[in-house]
Chain A
Amino acid sequence: MPGNKVGWLIDRNINITNVCISGCKFCNFHCKINEDVQYITSVEEYCEKIDELFAAGGRQVLMQGGMHPKLGLDFYTGLFSELKRRYPNLKLHALRPPEVVFLANKARKSYRKVLEELVEAGLESLPGAGAEILSDRVRKIISPGKCNTHEWLDVMREAHKMNLVTSATMMFGHIETEKDRIEHLIHLRQVQSEKPSGNNGFVTFVPWPFMDEGTVLRSEGIRNTSTANDYLRLVAICRIMLNNIKNLQASWLTVGAATWQLCLHGGANDFGSIMMEENVVSAAGANYKMNALGIQQAIRDAGFEPQYRNQAYEPEEIPAGVKS
């Protein structure tokens, strides 16, 4: 690793709404449109959260779902434009392929057109969440309302042609087989190999274990039995199979700092972010917390040097006021 550096950044998760039609059996966060707990985040609420983010030194928000049946493309373009008007320096890392497919179907537009309108409104990078396991057999069981494998990959192909920065993910340890995991990696490698030369493509890959607490899957007898050793093996095989994706982020939020530090010694090179206000995996039992100082200390304790970065994995100066 050049200079022994390990990337990290400060960002904030903001959920646009908790209403979602995908019915994912691993998600405790979503609800139906007629439930009392349903919400759509207001612009004023975004502003409050973004002000907190800026005060903490961050400039990026990760804005995701759910897939609300009444919110179409115009809602998202209007929202992004308004946030960028109020915060021109804000970096919008937002939506996921399942949401792009959902919006495209709703608006009867191509993925390309939807992405172009979102980028025009302020979208700067597309997270690779919602991949879970790229096997239609698995997806039909755990995420019955989400896009299929082919659709997820096609959205990313379009994003890569447009040179959008994207990432890729995997949620493992539920009903999938080891063969499904390897096929998932081969799908990603294939899409990455098709990106136009010089374009960003998938800048990183992030695998994490299924968190089962209180989930429908657990009530059906599917438990997370992954050990630290399983995670290390999985991260290792990901690095080996994904020979054309440069960065690999281990998930401290789900496996904790100690296992994450071990992953650094096997080839992972990124911490991810401090993730202010993560709601989804936290609602299923992922309770680890880290602040900016803690992240940097964890990196140093593992024998590496922390390097602040942006979503495109470009190095940046650590924000003013953030202790190092």
Chain B
Amino acid sequence: MRIENILNKAIKLEPLTLGKGMFIYERVSTNELMLVRMNVARNKCRGTKWVG
């Protein structure tokens, strides 16, 4: 399991398994997790007028 591959899946909004979720929760730095989730948030809201 490679961290980079898992984070790329997350950014593309692909569902992560329990194992992959645990893997990054335990091993990825807070900075990197925050950066990934910002990108996830951007992808979630792409093309919408508002957050909801």
CA distance in complex: A254, B45 (Å)? 27
Interface string of A205-221 (1 = CB under 8 A from B): 00000000000000000
Of the candidates B13, B41, B52, the one whose C-beta lies within 8 Å of that of A313 is B52
Q: Counting CB contacts under 8 A, is B4 at the interface?
A: no
List the A side residues contacting B40 at CB < 8 Å: 239-240, 243, 267
CA distance in complex: A246, B45 (Å)? 7
Is there contact, CB below 8 Å, between A247 and B52? yes
Interface string of B11-48 (1 = CB under 8 A from A): 00111101001101110001001111110111011001
Is there contact, CB below 8 Å, between A183 and B30? no
Q: How many Cβ-Cβ contacts under 8 Å join chain A to chain B?
A: 106
Q: Counting CB contacts under 8 A, is A182 at the interface?
A: yes
List the B side residues contacting A246 at CB < 8 Å: 44-45, 51-52
CA distance in complex: A313, B51 (Å)? 7
Is there contact, CB below 8 Å, between A179 and B51? no
Report the nearest B residue to A236, measured CB to CB: B33
List the A side residues contacting B10 at CB < 8 Å: 240, 243
User: How many B residues face the partner with a CB closer than 8 A?
Assistant: 28
* A3 vs chain B, min Cβ distance (A): 8
Q: Counting CB contacts under 8 A, is A141 at the interface?
A: no
List the B side residues contacting A2 at CB < 8 Å: 45, 48-51
Is there contact, CB below 8 Å, between B41 and A248? yes
Q: Counting CB contacts under 8 A, is A309 at the interface?
A: yes
* A251 vs chain B, min Cβ distance (A): 16
Is there contact, CB below 8 Å, between B37 and A189? no
Is there contact, CB below 8 Å, between A236 and B36? yes
CA distance in complex: A309, B51 (Å)? 10
Is there contact, CB below 8 Å, between A237 and B50? no
Known A-B contacts A236-B37, A241-B16; the reply to A7 vs B22 at CB < 8 A is: no
Residues of B within 8 A of A (CB): 10, 13-16, 18, 21-22, 24-26, 30, 33-38, 40-42, 44-45, 48-52
Residues of A within 8 A of B (CB): 1-3, 5, 7, 178-179, 181-183, 185-186, 189, 203, 229, 232-233, 235-237, 239-241, 243-244, 246-248, 265-270, 307, 309, 312-315
